[in-house]
Amino acid sequence: MSLTTGPQQSAAIPLDPTADRSAQGRFVDRMSQWPWWLLIIVFFGVLIVWNAMTSELYSAIFSRLLLGIGVTIFTTLVAYSLAIIIGLIAGLGRVSQNPIIFNIATLYVQVIRGVPILVQLLVIAFVIVPIVIDGINLLGSALAPILGGDNFLTRTKPQDVPFLTRSIIALAIAYGGFQAETFRAGIQSISKGQMEAARSLGMSYLQAMRYIILPQAIRRVLPPLGNDFIAMLKDSSLVSVLGVRDITQEARLYASASFRFLETYTSLAFLYLTMTIVLSLGVKWLENRLNSEGRAQG
């Protein structure tokens, strides 16, 4: 009877080092696919929320900032809705065959894209609006024989236009230039053959654009429009330079009075980051849904 020694027994056991390495590789691959950036943001967000619930200082800061969040959301929604209308009109002008309409739309887009939004905000608030009010006063004077010398047109003053209204108008005009290029790209992405087919069926140019081209173009530009909405939400903080009481202005006022700059501006950044991440996830979901529907139709 033969006896096997200890070293011989261990040598007889089969070892597969590649199995451990492959398991480790799969684990590393799974770890690399996790949204670490989101986990880090959530971690710091939980810390800030915890401080808001347990610290009187953070609780006071968030209570103050929440006073302006309604103004921020209202400004963004109204200004973006107007920007969509302005951008669509300018975008149609950018693809128009009429040279006058095309050049007017191009001039508007080039000026808007070449001037910083903050400068546009100041120009519209302190230059354009007073000029428009002067024009309204002149119109009221011209209509004095009909409306009377002291009519509502002549009584209108620049002070009657709130800075919130001026801010909304400025943001709408500013983003209308960017939306115009988005709509132009969407319209030009549609095959010219579809316009020709619609015209051959007896449709006018406007009918073909309304029923054939625009529905497809708008569907294609929805994700970029969503990204522009997120950008406008962030740029709405610029209205604070006009004294509009949005969350940025509320943060500035509180920090100036309490000298708690670190806590106040950290909370402000957290609020903006939370809103933009939620909107970004919504835009991503919309883009994936449109892509899946497009593949299903294809």
248-291: pLDDT as tens digits? 999 999 999 999 999 999 999 999 998 998 898 888 888 888 77
Q: What is the pTM of this model?
A: 0.81
Q: Which range is least confidently modeled, 145-154, 162-171, 241-250, 274-283?
A: 145-154
The mean pLDDT of 220-233, rounded to a whole number, is 92
- Distance separating alpha carbons of residues 229 and 80, to the nearest angstrom: 7
**Which CATH class name applies to 68-244?**
mainly alpha
- Distance separating alpha carbons of residues 31 and 10, to the nearest angstrom: 35
23-45: pLDDT as tens digits? 666 666 676 677 777 778 778 77
Return the percent helix, strand and coil in the chain, to nearest 5. Answer: 85, 0, 15
The answer for residues whose C-beta is within 8 angstroms of residue 198's C-beta and 6 or more apart is 207, 208, 211, 212, 213
Which residue ranges make up each domain of the chain? 68-244
67-79: pLDDT as tens digits? 999 999 999 999 9
The encoded tokens of residue 120 equal 């546009």
